[in-house]
Structure 1
């Protein structure tokens, strides 16, 4: 068992008495022998400049003691090379010519850089034990990284303790504090809603909800959502919204329901142009429009009484704004404001083209054992259809799957749709099935589905190709056609309905 308690500690001059390790596994330079090459490599490939910034603005943290080893009578840093490179550069910025001006400007922030001229280190007895320690630190799980919600909770706790956002920005100059404070407010806002359905109320206390906070972030980070809700954070860390609590409750319910049912996730919301994102925003706009609660320009409803929570990246200062660090303070790992990059201006990267989705995501659609085999087979075939190649065939199958699934749901509950009056000459077609399902949901189903079903029946909430009429047109109108995006969008429109009818 490794025991470092007896390892001696010494204080060494960072420039004269301790060397960087040429065998450091961080290094991109193969078998680097010259210390100048080693320090350059650590600045280029391991962001030693970011550490210089942190030391100069926050201070040199001593909670972890670097480790040295004596080789041929000289001390070599075996654990803490990045820190040593930063300390050496602070003492002599000319050691890193490509970063000299930036290091010098940061070092100038120190009242007395000479206090960092020496570093306290532990001396490992041999390479074997040093390697054991290094492996434990870098390949083990001794330290658990904070989750996004835990990071947000930390800064929310600072706010709850009475510290102002401006104070936190000064206290933590290298951290995007606005991001975490806003994140906490948003998550707490969602958690403060009293949901009508107990399963959603319970969901917000589960690990599944915590794991889905990155999904929620994709929604509340978007300009469209911020414009709709009027959510914004001022310079004092106060978050406001323009929607009333009642309307926000309906908005939150639609989002949380989608997360609970897993049709809203990071895959379905992979971009603001994805079919599910487009559909969700249309649903949310309709909720707001139906309530007559259109968002005014100025935020008027303060968000108060929140408790520590968590979430993902926020804008600050207004709807759609990107979080920005305080003046003169770059984000973690970035050079100071106005400074060139490590090797001069870099040409803009060409973003790789996103792969087009080829199949509908039916992973959460599982027909009960009691449902007809024909429906189960059709669902399986639909999941394998290449939508990019066969969008119209997909659309035809969507119509059939929706109608048959509603009928199977009614049959499993011993309900005769035809007997309910929803038929034409004794025949039950898709429109009749949707009419019956709407009546059923209004009477005994979840309220969130009413608008979804209405949207598919009438096209009120969505574009025409997401309506029941278009599903009939693909079946009967020989001039009607759709493209792959419209097929994906239709699936996004009926996904919640499908999940519901698969649970008789």
Structure 2
């Protein structure tokens, strides 16, 4: 148990006596980072300037003091790096060039800047107890690394501050600078797209977008994505790609919309072998092929701007003049005001693939079942609705049987069979009895609805599933496929968790 009451407090000079924790950056390396870079990063990515403004407006609050630990002859901040960075900038705005003018303006409201040149700090007895404090305040892991996005943001801040890619390679020889810089470039590339959908633009400013960046990185760092788009980074840190801006914008729209809808996340893309990842790559590959067939994709240059991709703006012409009468002066024709053009947002594209984001086939289930799900993820609903419907029927029956096998239950022995054969109706009846016995009441209605055919839409019943398999006059459309999927999806999620 920590007893901080015995930790001594001393006064230290902000600029000379206190040092920021170079290990606090947690860039998956033990090498020392440059303190100036850390200060800059805290201002760019952690809003240290907001603290400067707060101090200038209401003063420096002392209800919480920075915690330091002594390493050799130095006092190093282990808790309160952002506050100390703000105080250092107040004493010397030039240490953050990008914010220098704003800091200098803000501190004009501080009556006595020199009064903040020394502050009270509390000294942790050792690093172990300091780590316990950090763990108690922030996480169960005393040294949790930054997320990949946070690591990329650090290096993006360095580039935005004017440092070159090669300078960063020299400055951080033991860090995978290339990977982080590439991530920073790619995130900015996605954020720079004009999505033409207010919901997507709003999403890019949300916390959900930031939480989803790990899944996004999994996409653009994959070999499949690189093969489709030609996106990479050369030895000078310049982004290149082989598709047009228009085609990339179409791809980005598909990806960001999937993130917004919740079917692209770290669960659905936990590896590049998941059905959702395969479906996404198929869709992106089709967009790339469509771009080539329409003549949109020319090889992109070093900056990623393909030649001929951006249409030339027509040159404005001077107003036409009428022929004047003899001896007269030409007069411009009166300009008739044009009616404002009403631009309608593009219609939301129809769903092309089954969303398998919440479905993960356990490793203990048969490989054949995993293969079925992977194939289902790649069938285009709009083009092949009946093939998709047939797959749904097969997968529902086989998934229930795999679930029963995993629980060492023989459906046939439960009495649910016809002449020793277990079909879809038998499997559904057995599962209904099973969930009732297990107390899984939320599954009763979905199973009963599919099993009995009492749902409003006939195509969401087992009768329809059997009809598509046996009745040569029965067919479905894409909307009916999606309706069926929405009906059986909670059942499949349940049987995928034995």
- Whether the TM-score (by the shorter chain) exceeds 0.5 is no
Point out which structure has higher relative CO (alpha carbons under 8 A, 6+ apart). 1
Greater C-alpha radius of gyration: 2
Under TM normalisation by the shorter chain, which class is it?
0.3 to 0.5
Give TM-score scaled by structure 2 length: 0.41
